[in-house]
Structures are given as structure tokens and as C-alpha cells.
Amino acid sequence: MSNNLANSTKNNNSHHSTDVTYATKPWQASVNSQIMARAEQRVIKQLLQALLYENIIDFESESANNAHESTGNKSLLNFVIQASDDVRYTAQGYIHYSFDIIRLNDLNVQRVVNGVAEDAILEHVISDILLNIEGAELKDSFIKELRHTLVNETQSQILASNIPVPIDTLTYEQLEGYLTAGHPYHPCFKSRIGFDLQDNYDYGPEFDQNIDVVWLAVKKELLVSNTTTGIDINEWVKDYVGADEFDALNAKLIEVLTIANETANDYCLIPAHPWQWQNTLVQALQPLLATQEVIYLGDAGHQYRAQQSIRSLTMLGNSDENGNNDTINEKAYLKLSMHLINTSSTRILAKHTVMNAAVVTTWLNQLIVDDKTAQALPIAFLGETVGVSLNHEALRARGYQHPNMYGGLAAIWRENVSQHLSTGQTAFPLNGVSYINADDSHLIDPWLDKYGVETWIAQLIKVTVTPLLHILFGYGVALECHAQNIVLVHENGYPIKVLLKDLHDGVRYSPEHLTQQHLRPDFYSLPPAHAALNRGSFIETEDTDGIRDMTVACLFFVALSDIAIFMQTHYHYSEVAFWQQVADCVTDYQTSHPEHQVRFDLFDIFAEQTRIESLAKRRLFGDKAFPIKYINNPLFKSRG
């Protein structure tokens, strides 16, 4: 990857490549069996780690008797899974201090048949283990995701750039494509159900391909929108794409409009992902396309790159005479609805979440605007300032029942990181802290060399943990801030602050325990059908432990545990010391803010156990009984 986001040598254009066989190159002769095996072992290990950790299958463990292989206070373990009388699986790894998370080491998982061992393959794991899990009604869809994950990870490892790039040459936008690892826990970390191999190459963030966003004109009465400023959607779009580009889209609308007495003023412009347009919207909106209530306008002349979430896009700058996009403009990031399943979730944008985006942004900013503590920390959000969605309810009232009208055409604009950076500051996705380059070097190694591991980690914890503690204890609000939703701001590698993002459906509170009741917003309600499909999707609750658990699960279990284990594994920095630093950070905050003592007790961060969602169990068994796992809290142990 070059220093310029848009100058990647991998990039062609947003359409299927002229050489349509390139996306399948990893499986053409001669195949790289070594890389394929490495990708397969990662999928198998991540699957087994989840199955063991969530107690879905039985296993035994014993010391591997290699004293030099200990990590912190934990010894290397041999894990044994007895699949049948004559088949067992063996692996090595650790049960970590961090929430007792199980991580397997670099040795390949072995399948042992009648005493003869060979490297495990996914199909054997499926037939020996997954297909024999009793009561797992959703195992077929889960297995499909695993198979897709293996293929997509193989394609990524072979076709994505494997040349390490110095950390100080990468912009935030470049890092969104550079960090190719995916979810560190979920077994289906790259499933992307709905993409074929060419789609995955064209739209997967790791391949750095340019994307042309599709623009549609939709009759105003069929759309709903919400903004933080009250701006008209067409005015927003005009400012976003540029006056000339907006006029060109409008001219095309006028040119193709054939309905009598209708004008361009009767329509709003809304963007759609090109994959969504081709694979979902043409069918779902066919009756509206026939009546010109929806009109296809094509692209506006801008090109985009996918961020890690796939559906969020960065607009590129204008091309020079050589066709290079020399600048990354500072336009808002664009989040689009996709009927794509990734990590077992369909990446649509439901109407109520689109409408709530501006509500959440306004509310959170109101909480901190006059709060001296929040200003000093500081706390900052990448606001989701504009949202627009097809009104599926209006269409259903007219008898249109296509299921993909729900959440299928919607967009949210999120503030650019540049709006929150001072001179000399750079943004960095938090999940990049534990990233390992293709040559096994560590992305943040130059920063740790420069500042020292203990000093750097202490500062990282301070700027990451304290703001979210204040939001929980100071306001009574939990945020769904895992590593992909936290942006680290640094100066020459030294952590300065964090930016919190993607919160349109990631807040939780108890109305009774909000500290600023007068600011409590009126949220757009969750449809019953949506709630039935996703029992974890809600904003208000009386379960105060659940509010605490949301903070602990997202920030500590997902984000910080991955960093703690990474530091222990690769820098021999003890997990015990890491969590002691986190505990000290919490204690320092609580000592400095005794006025929040009631909420310290109510949302007890130091509780002996906390709850997480069992991701693999939910994908296997469903959530008729929402799968919760109680886990041991390292902060309880660190506090003593």
C-alpha cells in the first residue's frame, strides 16, 4: 500500500475486473497449499476456542509440561476433544488471566484417528464435531458461514497486499483497509454471506478497490430522515457530493422523468451500495422502479473505499491528470444498508436505528457540552449527523410486502475523524494495537520501542477507559464500544484521546438511573418483529447489571483482553500487570469522583463475575433462551 489511500497498486475500479478469473486465482494451479492451510487452521482454531470457551462441547486439558512455555501465571495446556471412540482432536494453548479466555498457540490442531495424527481440516471438524452437537437447530447456517469464512480468508491472505507498511505512513483511512484480520473471537469472522468471490474482491476492505456508490431518486413521501441540524436532505446531499455533481444528478432525473406534473423537487436523493442495488434493491423495489417512484441515477463521479465494517465507506479525493486520487477529502463517512451476513448478522440499517442516529448524537453531545470533567478527559464522538431511510411501513400499507424493503435502502453519514484532530494528531483504529503484519512483525512495535511498553500501555488505558467510565458513572449510560468502535488519537504514537463511533444502536440505560433526566431523548421505537429476531437489540432496561455488563463486555472483554493477551504473548508483559493498571485506572477515577458513589455500587465494575453474549452458542441454538455466559472478571482479582 502506498502512502496515498487511492494510489494502491492493487486497485482497478469498482466494477468486476476485466480479468474475471483474478478473484479465483488462489484456487488456480498452482495453489499455495501452505497459505491455504494457514487460513484453514485459523478458522478451526477460532471455532474450537469458541466451542470450548462457551462450554458447547466437552474437552479435557492438562499441562503440556513445558515450563519455558508459560505465560504470566498460566502454563501451556494440551486440549483434547474426544469426538468419538476412535477420533479425537488435540491442540495447545492457554486459559488466560483475561476472563479465562482460551487461545490456542501456533501449533496446528491435530486430528488423531486410532492413534495416527494429522493436521485437522475444517470438513473433518464439521463432520466429527459440529454435526454431532445435539439441539443445534441452526448448525447448517453456521456451517455455511464457516465455509465462506475459510474461502474469504484464503482469498484475503493470497490476494491482499502482504507487504508490511510502516505505521507512521498510514492514515486512518488506509488503516481501515490495512487491518485485515477481522473479529478476534467470532468463528465466522469473515463469512460475508451474499458475496461471491468477485464481490468479495471488489468490495472487501482488504483489497482496496474503488467503489462507485449508486444514487437513487425516491419520492419524498416514501422516505423518512433525521438530522442533528434540521437540514433538508437534498441540501445535505448537495453539500456532500458538490453543487456540480448534484446538478448533474438532478439533470439526469429531469431527463428520465416521464410522469406528468412531477418535478425533481418531488424527489430526494439517497445513496445505495452498488452490491445492494444489484443483489437486493432491483427486486425489492421493482414495483416502484416501474412507476418511477424510485429512479436509478447512477454514480455522482466520486469513488469510495470500504472500511473494516464493509458497509461504511470513505469518499476519495478528486483524481489528477494521471488518474490518481491525491487527497483524501474530509467528507463525512457513508454507512449504507446491505443484506450481507457477516459475523452472523445481517448488515441492514433498520429505519428506527437510522432515525435514532441523530438523536443519539445530539443527546451524547448535550451530556458532555457543559461537563468540565468530560471536557478535560476529553470525551468526543464521531457524530452520526444525518440519516435517511425508505419508509417500509408506508409501502406495506400499500400492499408491498417484499421483506427486503425493511432496512434495505438507508444511509447514515458519520463525521470524519479530521473534525476532531488538532495539529500533529493522527487517528488509529483501536483494533490495530494488536495487529500482526504479514511478516509476523507487530504494527505498533515502533511506538512501544519509543515510549516503553509499561508507559505506553498505562497511557492507552488512561485515555481509553476513563471516558467510558465517566459516561457510565457520570451519566448512567453504557456504550457498545468494542475495538472497532473506538478510534485512538495519538501524537507521534503516544495516545492522547479516543473518539467513539457507530452508536446509533449501541447505547443502553435505565431511565430511573440517568443523572440528567431532563435531557433524556424520545427514541424511535424498536418494531416488535425486529425485537423478536434480535433479543439483544434494545436501549432501555431496568437490568442495571446488564448496563454494567455492556461496558465490561465491549470495552474490557472484547477490546482490552485482546490487547492484554497480545502484550503478554509478544512482549512478555504480564496480563496480571495489565489488568492491575486497568483496576488502578478505575480506582483513580472513583477516588476523584466520590459524587458518583451510588453508581459505583449500582454498576459494579469490580464484580466477581460479569455476563457476555455467547456468540457461537447463539448462532448454533438461536436466542429463544438468550445465551448468556457468566465469566470471571479480572478486575475483581486485580482489586484483591
Average pLDDT over residues 389-393: 96
Residue 268, SS3 per DSSP: strand
DSSP per-residue codes, 428-484: EEGGGTT-B-TTS-BTTHHHHHHH-HHHHHHHHHHHHHHHHHHHHHHHSEEE---GG
DSSP state of 619: H
- Parallel, antiparallel, or unpaired: how do β-strands 304-306 and 312-315 relate? antiparallel
| The three grid cell numbers given for residue 286, joined into one nine-digit string | 421493482
Count of other CB atoms within 10 angstroms of residue 439: 8
Closest CA to 478 of 468, 464, 492, 486: 468
Average pLDDT over residues 349-368: 96
* 521 φ/ψ angles, rounded to the nearest 5 degrees: -85, 165
pLDDT in tens, 499-520: 999 998 899 999 999 999 999 9
Is the peptide bond preceding residue 141 cis, with omega within 30 degrees of 0?
A: no
* Separate counts of helices (H) and strands (E) for the chain: 22, 25
CA 24, 26, 29, 34: dihedral to nearest 10 degrees? -160
DSSP per-residue codes, 356-392: HHHHHHHHHHHHHHT-HHHHHTT-EE--EEEEEEE-H
CA 362, 365, 366, 367: dihedral to nearest 10 degrees? 130
pLDDT band at 162 (very low <50, low <70, confident <90, very high): confident
pLDDT band at 261 (very low <50, low <70, confident <90, very high): confident
What is the strand order of the sheet 380-381 is part of? 380-381, 494-500, 486-491, 426-429
556 vs 444: CA distance, rounded Å: 20
Say if residue 8's pLDDT is above 60: no
Predicted local confidence at residue 259, as pLDDT: 84
Residue 61, SS3 per DSSP: strand
pLDDT in tens, 22-45: 999 999 988 999 999 999 999 999
Predicted local confidence at residue 295, as pLDDT: 98
- Parallel, antiparallel, or unpaired: how do β-strands 110-113 and 87-95 relate? antiparallel
Predicted local confidence at residue 344, as pLDDT: 79
Predicted local confidence at residue 323, as pLDDT: 54
77 vs 609: CA distance, rounded Å: 24
pLDDT > 90: percent of the chain: 85
Q: Which residue shows C-alpha cell 468463528?
A: 187
pLDDT in tens, 375-390: 999 999 999 999 999 9
Say if residue 155's pLDDT is above 80: yes
Say if residue 18's pLDDT is above 50: no
pTM: 0.94
Find out whether 639 and 606 touch, Cβ atoms under 8 Å.
Answer: yes
Q: Which residue shows C-alpha cell 471412540?
A: 85
Question: H or E element: which one contains 306?
Answer: strand 304-306
Least confident interval from 129-138, 150-159, 258-267: 258-267
pLDDT in tens, 209-255: 999 999 999 999 999 999 999 999 999 999 999 999 999 999 999 99
CA angle (502, 505, 508) in 5-degree steps: 110
Tally of residues, the chain = 640
Predicted local confidence at residue 538, as pLDDT: 74
Buried b (16+ CB within 10 A) or exposed e, 294-315: bbbbebbebbbbbbbbbbbbbb
The structural domains of the chain, ordered by start, are 5-178 (3.30.310.280), 209-414 (no CATH), 425-639 (1.10.510.40)
Least confident interval from 427-441, 499-513, 515-529, 531-545: 531-545
Residue 185, SS3 per DSSP: coil
Predicted local confidence at residue 15, as pLDDT: 44
| The three grid cell numbers given for residue 567, joined into one nine-digit string | 502484550
Bridge partners of 215?
271, 298
pLDDT band at 150 (very low <50, low <70, confident <90, very high): very high
Q: Which residue shows C-alpha cell 458513572?
A: 473
Q: Which residues contact 342 (CB under 8 A, 6 or more apart)?
A: 188, 190, 191, 192, 193, 310
* 98 φ/ψ angles, rounded to the nearest 5 degrees: -75, 95
Average pLDDT over residues 260-284: 96
Is the peptide bond preceding residue 594 cis, with omega within 30 degrees of 0?
A: no
